[in-house]
Structure 1
Amino acid sequence: MKIESLRRLRGPNVYLSRPAVVARLRLEELTGRETSDVTGFTERLLRALPGLAEHHCAAGAAGGFVSRLRGGTYFGHVTEHVCLELSQLIGRDVSFGRTVSTGEPGSYDVILECPVDESPESRVPGELLEAAVDLVLATHAGQTGGTPAARLEELAAFAEREATGPSTRAIIAAARRRGIPVERFDDLSLVRLGWGTRRRMAWAAMTDRTSGVGIDIAGDKHVTRRLLGEAGIPVAAGGAAGSPGEAVRLLRDLGGPVVVKPRHGSQGRHVALGLTTPGEVERACRDAGGDVVVERQLDGRDYRVLMVAGEMVAAAERIAAHVVGDGRSTLAELVGLTNADPRRGVGHSRVLTRLTLDAEALRLAGREPADVPADGETVWLREGANLSTGGTSRDVTDRVHPDVTRLCQRVAALVGLDIAGIDLRLPDIAAPLPPTGEDEPTAGVIEVNAVPGLRMHLAPVRGRARDVGDAIVRAMFPGGSDGRIPTVAVTGTNGKTTVTRLAAHLLGGNGRTVGTTTTDGVFVDGRAIHLADATGPRSAQQVLGDPQVEVAVLETARGGLLRRGLGYDWSDVGVITNITADHLGQDGLDAIEDLAHVKAVVAERVRDGGTLVLNVDDPWVRSLPGRPRVRADRKRLVWFGLDPANPVLTEHLGRGGTAYVLQDGWLVQATGARRTPLLRSAEVPGAYGGAAPHAVANALAAIAAARALGARTETVAARLGEFEPAVDNPGRGTLLRLGDVSIFLDYAHNPAALATTLRTLHRLWGTDRCVAAVTLPGDRRDDLLAASAQILADGLTRAVLYDDGDTRGRAPGEVSTLVEREMRSRRPLIRAARAEGFRDAVTTGLGLTAPGEVLLVIYEKWAPMRAFLEELGAVPAGTHPVLPSTPAVRAMPQVGRDLTGSAPMVSKSVTDHGHS
């Protein structure tokens, strides 16, 4: 049994709304075997992992998985549950798992939930799965030891290193409670909060508004004390020293005791307190690297006050690392007992840091590890009160005197930090500050910290925990903002790219910057920033993470959704154009119903109160509102379609709903009995005077999306009329002319899209004046290629076939041979030829095309095809290549005028699917 591959679903997906990993598992020697076939397997596994007895499995109650084990289940399923249990044992709280067959004997996909803030690049899921496979194989072989403790400890340490620290975790949690989107970068503490122009960045307790100058000031303890001292802030007397000699001179000037600390230090490292002799000062100076600050040690207690955006949000008394004797345990044992607290970890990964019984601790304690402190005796292990050296905290927020609050407000403003941790040495934080004057201060500020740790406030050992993460998020997003920008997600089989481009165009008025992802690339304000098939989650994140973007329109394709999940958590508008046969046989999709299940994810992730825009003419799309996970009752449902007599549509309008339909030659907004005309269908760009009704359907879908985000009817109609297909929608129904021959280019690559395109050409040129140069993608199933070939044979008398440059796993020439065979079977007298590459195919096709006829070109990649046609001298032909014989369209009132109470309008039903 082995793991063949592992992929991460970074966002909502077909399995659940949270991140997950999908592991392809091959059972090999265990294929066809079940747990009941192996004597003693269940008992050995339960001895190794007793927690499996609590797993529910499909039974929905504890013990369900054990019943499956005893009754017999396959070993992929066992690996899933073992991995979940190992995750729990290392403190990784996940519970969802599923194992499904890939259709091949002995091959399964194991789907496992991931913590929502785990790095997308984390190695932990893979390491856990490897450990699970090893344990299952060992148990099968008769071993009973389970996973070695050392391996579990290694996995736990690995997961802890990759996890966010308490400060970042608190900010993320507060943001999620507010509904603010969060995206973590790698395994860092850097997170993006919000989208587009509302995007903010945080790195632990530092934000994108934290002053770089303030950080540098706080990072230089000498500069900090001078700046504050000159402003009248009470600070300890002292100065900077660049050598042990200078440090000793400062000791003589100040008198003991003094504190020696690194000028640029942090986290209490190499801070020495209570020094009174030159030797102590020299040694401390050398230990700190020679560049130090020497200050007179102030009396009192250690306090930390957290300031956020000029407000005091938390205060804590800091208590140095120590243990309390019980009269029985040795010092070493007391340290071990203290470190057993699950809140303590290494470094800053947990809310408390483990104690270290090193030479410094033993010197301060005046004890040996084997000594037994008396019952109730406090043994101090560090002089400084930093949490990073094992200290603890006591919340004193409600005791802070107003004098102290005002002092800290001044300090944060003087240093210039939006978030600051101010360290104070005071007799009592609840008492008024001692008066300042000519005498040296006996209490005051001892340090200012940029990017302060939040642990002491989040989980004090005594006192109330403070939600300081929420305070930081409130400061970053004032007024209750959720940090989101309006977002549209578009999916479907055909028409996605066109609808996405149209919607972006309609929403781009009034100076708004729209970010768009499409099959051709990522665009911001109409400018390409990344050229590629950009319909997956990474591309969505490119747009949502761009601080210029005010509105996002995201084409969301099947492939990216299945392989990586969605690139967002919720959208405001979800558009589903149609669902028809394509990509079947890929990624576990065997039937259109499977494809509908995938497309439904976009509908499911429309937020409560958002708008779901659906094609009423498509039966599979019509079925989506009935799916439980779509929760259509919580969304605003808007239909679009070409048949105003559709029963679903009429019922919807009868309930006062809204739809966008084609009626009597007009694109109409219908709400209840009210009809508002928008634009004549003959004037829709790319519809070729009505010869391409699918272009009208695409326009209706885009209008519905734009109106859902508040675009005005007048603006939408005007913007739609300004859309230039050759410029704004290149390669989708694009018409060129070369001499007396028309060239029609499209990306149609499935039966429905090809049928729609050929119908358009027949309306314009007739049924016997069309030639085609066609390529079809090699990753389509043979039956889908055959169906496409039959559509071509029915609609053409002459065709040139060529293969994509990327054969997608097929042998060279395999696809064109299959298509030619199927075309000849359907139409024996068809003139069909094969060509090598798109250049040869277009040249041959032009040779078959007579003056006044049209060459349909189905391409693989738009840019090289466009460049080649420009080389040949092809030029844009406009939107009316011929004068089609069409009936006159009855006039309707001007755009924006309502027609209420009029007789129902009737138009012929057209159910063509749009294409990309």
Structure 2
Amino acid sequence: MKILSLRHLRGPNVHLSRPAVVARLGLDELTGRETTDVAGFPERLLRGLPGLAEHHCAAGAPGGFVSRMRGGTYFGHVTEHVMLELSQRIGRNVSFGRTVSTAEPGIYDLIVECPRDESPESSLPAQLLEAAVELVAAVASGASIVRADLDRRLAALAGLAEREATGPSTTAIIAAARRRGIPVERYGDLSLLRLGWGTRRRLAWAAMTDRTGGVGIDIAADKQTTRRMLSDAGIPVAPGGTATGPDEAVRLLAELGAPVVVKPRRGRQGEHVALNLRTAAEVHAAVLAAGGEVVVERQLGGRDYRVLVVAGEVVAAAERVAAHVIGDGESTVAELVARVNADPRRGMGHSRALTRIALDDIAEAVLARQECTTGTVPAAGTRVRLRDNANLSSGGTGHDVTDRVHPDVARLCLRVAAVVGLDVAGIDLRLPDIAAPVPPTADPDDVAAGVIEVNAVPGLRMHLSPVSGRSRDVGDAIVRAMFPGGSDGRIPVAAVTGTNGKTSVARMTAYLLGGGGLRIGLTTTDGVSLDGRTVYRGDATGPRSAQMVLGDPGVQAAVLETARGGTLRRGLGYDWSDVGVVTNITADHLGQDGLGSVEDIAHVKALVAERVRDGGTLVLNADDPWVRSLVDRPRVRADRKRVVWFGADPQQPVLVGHLGRGGTAYLLQDGWLVQATGARRTPLLRVAEVPGAFGGAAPYAAVNALAAIAAARAMGAPAGVVTERLTEFEPRVHNPGRGTVLRLGEVSLFVDYAHNPAALAAVLRTLERLYGRDRCVAAATLPGDRRDDLLAASAQVLADGVTRAVLYDDEDPRGRRPGEVSALVEREMRGRRPNLRSVRAEGYRAAVREALRLAVPGDVVLVLYEKLTPMLEHLEELGAVPVEAPPVLGLRPAPVRLAGAGTAAS
């Protein structure tokens, strides 16, 4: 077996609502074979991975997978389950998997869930899959799993998983945000989070927020500056000073009196902090170990406490106890430490609730002061310290004392955070008892209890998972401070999908919303724009582009064109939308990404409808049978959403029934765009006045306008603003490349992106209405990644609508041989219409020139392009100029008959 490809779906996708990887697997020598064809396969696999016996599989109960293996199943399916089991073994809690066959024998797609916040760039899924493939292949060849080898490999994978996972503090903030419905994005494998969207976006890096002042962080990082500021404010701090070398530190020892504490002036996490120093030699050694400038303080008596302040509120407090072991009269110190470190809550660094205790030089020095070594056997009940400082990062433990904090202590801590300038602060104190007030003192050199340190970005572990006492939801406290008043951090979002018209609908929706003064973020096939300015050019219909918009702090509402390719290859770029628009569903892209039928396309497009939030709005095309069928899909849950239909046929039964129940729809009726609610009809704009509809010659443009109006209204745009804004929409400026009309001498040019049979048919009908029959010349290209039958269908539509054609190939042949697509299209067009004049040209420039040579005055040249900007630049070079509107032949204004017309209520 071998892995052919692997891609990460970062958000909701067609398989499940959580991230996943899709791996393509080639079975090679195992093609066509099942587990029953290999003697003893299930037994050997289960001996090495006994946890597989608990896998449910399709049976829905433990043992289901084993039954499948013993009854015979293919090896791609086995690999999926082994990957899931290996994930569980390393603490990567995932359970969903699915294996599906492809059109090619022996090739399977494995879809396996990923942890929600695992980085899309993580190599862990690939490494787990590689391990699973190797194990299954080895067992299938007759080998047994060597437990020691497997354990070593799993240990390495577990280490990688732990390093990449979010730490306890970040995990708590993520969990609290998601309970509130706040969208969360993690940046790579960092602890940096983006919470919320657009103008409501906030950033957090562990327990630091984007409102944490840089000045406050710098003050807290400088222990001497912190001491001086607090002392000047009348806050009790330990007497002390700074030293740049051992001699100065020893002088401070003499002035302050033993014991003293030596710590780096800019240290962190208790590193190189030395306590209980009583002699010049000890101070000298501590300064050399710390390096650089140090702070020397008198060591205060009492207990170590940490108080967490968030946005002017004490939210948690813990007593910190230094790393230690308790003797049992039988075990050595080293054995006791090993036993403590075996606690699954302990890990390396800050990845788990507690940190493992290290038996290093520092521990040995602390043991020596207690006349112990790592080989000493302490008496039963004897506490043996391994560290002097109580930091969790050096193996200490936290014990919750939040409910015991004296009001005077709480007020003191609030003052400390305010003086230093931190919205989130961890304040370390030495006190006889946190339940009693801080002893008053009139002499700053005679402080017996007080503040010993202030921490920016404090660790939250001791409050989330105390060894004793209640866990405190400090992640929620931070999120509440960032999003006051119950805000979910979201901005209005509309997602637009479909086969044809989605770019036009997305652009028009964004333009209509902009009339309300909102700054709109827009993604389309052609790029990303923010407040009407293009910031990125290229196909921007996938999750990366959606995140570009949703992550911009200036965006107040977003309109996201959401195409098939990005959805299938990377998933959605958002969790929920407020409005989901589906324009139509027709045959296109068949043969790509496993799409074999229009039903498959509908399944992909349905994802946009599924991810409209409860209470949101579905805007659906009543004229399209595949779109109509979406409301019957269980995962769409149309009963929990508001459905708004749009369409050109006011007699469509689903639309008539919907209005009969008091629903809302947007219709073309008697030459008008109409808002219908129940029996009420409100005229909005004449079809002849719809920009881009060419006086009614392009009804598809009017239908696109209906969809955009419905979406904008669902997002709160007032009806009057929408109608006025629609009349100001300039297709050439705001929707370039979709029905753009130019003039060169006495010949018109109609530039469009139609590239499938339905779109081509609509455009060619429009050109016949505008210019008459047999007046159209095509300079045409079609994308090479379409199936031959789809290209043939497009070619036949072209042959029916044009009399002369110049065919050229895209610069990117998309897997085809040079000239292959144009040859296929020409062959099909001639077969459909033998008298058709057709030639092939090299590139778009030659094609346009030849098409213009074939045209006569009064003709129109249909220009189909691969890339819009180069094509428009070339047409401009030739002297083509924009025109407001072409002549409309044979169209008469439709009579106005609006039964029940009235003013809309909203």
Q: TM-score range by the shorter chain?
A: over 0.9
User: Which of residues 431, 434, 438 is equivalent to 1:433?
Assistant: 438
Could you say which residue in structure 1 is the equivalent of 2:763?
757
- 2:606 maps to amino acid: A
Q: Which amino acid aligns with 1:111?
A: I
In structure 2, C-alpha distance between the alignment counterparts of 1:300 and 1:280, rounded to whole Å? 22
- Alignment check: 8 A CA contact 1:275 1:281 kept: yes
Q: Distance in 2 between matches of 1:883 and 1:58?
A: 61
Q: Is residue 779–residue 848 contact of structure 2 (8 Å, CA) maintained in 1?
A: yes
Per-residue deviation, 1:895:
14
Do the aligned partners of 2:208 and 2:457 also contact (CA within 8 Å) in 1? yes
The correspondence of residues 631-780 of structure 1 with structure 2, limited to 5 A, is: 631-780=637-786
1:559–1:296 CA distance, 2 compared to 1 (3 A): same
SS at match of 1:142: coil
Contact 1:325 1:379 in 2 (8 A): yes
Residues 244, 290 of structure 1: 8 Å contact kept? no
Counterpart in 2 of 1:81? 81
- The reply to whether residue 554 of structure 1 matches residue 560 of structure 2 is yes
Superposition map of 1:75-474 within 5 A: 75-146=75-146, 148-365=150-367, 366-438=371-443, 440-474=446-480
TM-score (norm 1): 0.97
Mapping 1:503-522, distance limit 5 Å: 503-522=509-528
Tell me how far apart the structure 1 counterparts of residues 375 and 441 of structure 2 sit (CA, whole Å).
48
The offset of 1:892, in angstroms, is: 6.9
Q: Distance in 2 between matches of 1:125 and 1:693?
A: 49
Q: Is the contact between residue 170 and residue 191 of structure 2 (CA under 8 Å) also seen in structure 1? A: yes
Query: Partner amino acid for 2:282?
Result: E
User: 2 CA distance for matches of 1:145 and 1:828?
Assistant: 67
Preserved contact between residue 522 and residue 560 of structure 2 (Cα < 8 Å): yes
Q: 1:432 deviation in Å? A: 1.4
**Which residue type is aligned with residue 34 of structure 1?**
E
CA deviations on 1:186-235 (whole Å, 9 max, x unpaired) are 11000100000000000000011100000000000000000100110000
Aligned 8 A contact 2:507 2:735 in 1 = yes
Superposed displacement of residue 890, structure 1: 2.7
Give secondary structure in 1 for the equivalent of 2:712: helix
Instruction: Name the CA distance, whole Å, in 1 between partners of 2:516 and 2:781.
Output: 41
Check conservation: 1:751, 1:791, Cα contact below 8 A.
yes
Q: Distance in 1 between matches of 2:366 and 2:212?
A: 38
Which runs of 5 or more structure 2 residues have no equivalent in the other structure?
A: none
The answer to whether structure 1 residue 26 and structure 2 residue 32 are counterparts is no
Question: Match of 2:803, as an amino acid?
Answer: T
Q: How many Å apart are 1:134 and its aligned residue?
A: 1.1
| Paired AA for residue 418 in structure 1 | D
Work out the CA distance in 1 between the residues paired with 2:154 and 2:344: 16
1:533 to 530, 539, 544: 539
**Structure 2 residue aligned with 1:913:** none
Aligned residues of 1:717 and 1:895 also touching (Cα < 8 A): no
Q: Specify the code of the residue in structure 2 equivalent to 1:288.
A: A
Equivalent residue letter for 1:368:
T
Q: CA deviation at 1:776?
A: 0.2
Which range moves more in the overlay, 700-709 or 432-441? 432-441
Distance 1:885 1:874 in 2: 26
Q: Distance between the aligned counterparts of 2:116 and 2:900, measured in 1?
A: 48
Structure 1 contact 194–482 (Cα < 8 Å) conserved: yes
Q: For 1:632-673, what per-residue CA distance to the aligned partner results, in whole angstroms no more than 9, with x for missing partners?
A: 001000000000000000000000100000110110110101
Which residue of 2 is the match for residue 905 of structure 1? Answer: none
Aligned-partner Cα distance in 1 for 2:346–2:526: 50
Residues 3 and 24, structure 1, Cα contact 8 Å, conserved in 2: yes
Determine the C-alpha separation between the residues in 2 that align with 1:510 and 1:579: 31
AA aligned opposite 2:283: V
Is the aligned partner of 1:43 residue 2:49? no
Question: Which residue of structure 1 lines up, in the alignment, with residue 500 of structure 2?
Answer: 494
**Cα distance between partner residues in 1 of 2:901 and 2:530:** 30
Using the aligned pairs only, state the percent identity. 74
CA distance in 2, matches of 1:371, 1:428: 33
Per the alignment, in what secondary structure is the counterpart of residue 623 of structure 1?
helix
Equivalent residues of 1:319, 1:391 under 8 A apart: yes
Q: Quote the Cα distance in structure 2 between the aligned partners of 1:895 and 1:716.
A: 22
The separation in 2 between residues aligned to 1:369 and 1:144, in whole angstroms, is 41
The answer to whether the Cα contact below 8 Å between 2:679 and 2:900 also exists between their aligned partners in 1 is: no
How many Å apart are 1:891 and its aligned residue? 4.2
- Residue among 600, 605, 614 paired with 2:620: 614
The answer on whether the counterparts of 2:491 and 2:557 sit within 8 Å (CA) in structure 1 is yes
Aligned-residue offset at 1:436:
2.3
- Residue 413 of structure 2 aligns with an amino acid whose one-letter code is C
Secondary structure of 1:148's partner? helix
1:52-67 map, 5 Å: 52-67=52-67
Which residue identity is paired with 2:707?
A
> Against the structure 1 CA distance between its residues 367 and 143, is the aligned structure 2 distance closer, same or farther, given a 3 Å change threshold?
farther
Could you tell me how far apart the structure 2 residues matched to 1:359 and 1:261 are? 17
Match of 1:908 in 2: none
Structure 1: distance between partners of 2:440 and 2:791: 88
**Number of residue pairs the alignment of both structures matches:** 899
Q: Which runs of 5+ in 1 are unaligned?
A: 901-916
Question: Normalising by the residue count of structure 2, what TM-score does the alignment of the two structures yield?
Answer: 0.98
Matched AA of 1:430:
A
- In 1, distance between residues paired with 2:351 and 2:568? 33
Whether 1:480 and 2:486 are equivalent positions in the alignment is yes
Asked if the contact 2:671–2:893 (Cα under 8 Å) also holds between the matched residues in 1, the reply is: no
**1:7 counterpart SS class:** strand
> CA contact under 8 A between 2:771 and 2:888: conserved in structure 1?
no
Whichever residue aligns with residue 35 of structure 1, its letter is T
Report the AA paired with residue 427 of structure 2: I
1:628 is paired with a residue whose SS is coil
What's the offset of the Cα at 1:894? 14
* Distance (whole Å) between structure 2 residues aligned to residue 4 and residue 509 of structure 1: 49
Is this contact kept in 2: 1:678–1:895, CA < 8 A?
A: no
| One-letter code aligned to 2:343 | D
Deviations 1:859-891 (A, max 9, x none): 100000000000011111112x11432223334
Residue by residue over 1:661-687, the C-alpha shift from the partner in whole angstroms, topping out at 9 and shown as x without a partner, is 011011011010111111000000000
Using the alignment, how far apart are the partners of 2:156 and 2:384 within structure 1? 32
Question: 2-side partners of 1:123 and 1:830: how far apart?
Answer: 55
Between the aligned partners of 2:87 and 2:889, the Cα distance in structure 1 is 67
Greater alpha carbon shift after TM alignment, 133-142 vs 579-588: 133-142
CA contact (8 A) 1:677 1:892 kept: no
What are the residue-to-residue correspondences of 1:876-891 with 2, within 5 Å?
876-879=882-885, 881-891=886-896
Q: Does 1:797 align with 2:799?
A: no
| 1:796 Cα deviation after fit | 1.3
Q: Is the 8 A contact 1:677 1:894 kept in 2?
A: no
Question: Per-residue CA shift, 1:744-787, capped at 9, x if unaligned?
Answer: 01000000000000000011111211111100000000000000
